[in-house]
Amino acid sequence: MTNLFDNSPKKAGYSFPAEWAKHEATWLTWPHKEASWPGKIDAIYAPYCEFIKAISEGEKVRINVNDEQTKEFARAKLLEQGVNLSQIEFYFNPSNDAWCRDHGPAFLVNENAEPKKVIVDWGYNAWGGKYPPFEQDDVIPTLIADQLDLPVFNPGIVMEGGSVEFNGAGTILTTTACLLNKNRNPHLNQAQIEEYLKECYGAEQILWLGDGIVGDDTDGHIDDITRFVNEETVLTVVESNPLDENYLLLQENLESLREMRLINGKPLKIVELPMPSPVIYEDTRLPASYANFYIANAAVIVPTFRDVNDEKALEIIRSVFPDRKVIGIDSTDIIWGLGSFHCLSQQEPAV
């Protein structure tokens, strides 16, 4: 461990910016795995391309595709939604699945260094080995680093982008349910994992919540429950129905957030976000959450679920992003894959 941290991104002055910092591009991995959306994969392409269109109005969209055939299929689907293809770049990086937040590169920046940007390539094991094969997904960050001619740091442990949330001022928010799960890094304790997070993301403080929402196959990713919207404010989902199985765990998370203090000693400002009614498909409760929004340059893109709370959630998110357009896109079919817009995307910061 010592050797890695002697030359860590943090020691070299690099850190992972907040999602609202300016992007050069957003990375996506084109969905092709039918087993992730059994019987529904064709239905996801229209909302997926609508998502891409919203991002592309303010930045480049860089899409990993398996081959020329996938690229042509993607181009056709994008054109159907009126996407300006001059904003789209395709990269031949074969994948197993579409969840770029978790298998994609973590871009860190240091404005005073050369190069100003580096990539951290964490290990990836499809959320504790749940969905093999995942070997192609695991190498995507290094392939992208080669294509962009950027240095790569390899921490050598498993970490997923959806399990960590950043305020851009030294604080990471995460969950014990995911990061301390024995299916990720059983050889590491909480203090050791904190050291990896600080050294490899350039952070100073790790704040821990408990459980994620019911139906989340990632073992409790933070990006379905609590999100930073500025350096000292979080949006966090709460369940209003005391009989709902998410009610108690989200109340416990809310209490934990109230007790937390940032590096400067200040408490978090907490804005509560409703949950949609349970989204059930084939007797399976899906991890539908308005917290899985993505902050792009031009807009904040929010998953909606044909639910009575959709508009209320959009209004609350608009209130914390007064300078950005907030767009709701129907995610009822996409969520059958057990993730939504934040899970599908990974930002590349501008320098």
Q: Give the whole-angstrom CA distance, residue 176 versus residue 181.
A: 7
Structure confidence at residue 285 (pLDDT): 95
Cβ proximity of 59 and 294 under 8 Å: no
Q: Is 200 considered catalytic here?
A: no
Residues of the chain with pLDDT under 50: 1-2
CA angle 173, 303, 29 (to 5 degrees): 80
Report residue 234 as tokens.
């979080």
φ, ψ of residue 106 to 5 degrees: the values are -95, 115
CA angle 324, 330, 335 (to 5 degrees): 110
Q: CATH number for the domain including 180?
A: 3.75.10.10
Structure confidence at residue 6 (pLDDT): 83
Residue (of 122, 169, 145) closest to 21 by Cα position = 169
Half-sphere exposure of 269 (CA within 13 A, CB side): 8
For the beta sheet containing 152-153, the strands, ordered from the edge strand earlier in sequence to the opposite edge, are 106-109, 117-120, 152-153
φ, ψ of residue 92 to 5 degrees: the values are -85, 85
- The residue segments making up the domain with residue 20 are 2-349
Q: Which of 49, 178, 200, 343 is catalytic?
A: 343
Cβ proximity of 126 and 137 under 8 Å: yes
Q: Which helix (H) or strand (E) holds 129?
A: helix 126-129
Over residues 306-328, the pLDDT tens digits come to 999 999 999 999 999 999 999 99
Structure confidence at residue 4 (pLDDT): 66
Adjacent-strand bridge partners of 174: 208
pTM score over 0.95: yes
Number of domains the chain is built from? 1
Structure confidence at residue 3 (pLDDT): 60
Cβ proximity of 36 and 246 under 8 Å: no
Structure confidence at residue 5 (pLDDT): 82
Q: Give the whole-angstrom CA distance, residue 341 versus residue 55.
A: 11
Structure confidence at residue 1 (pLDDT): 39
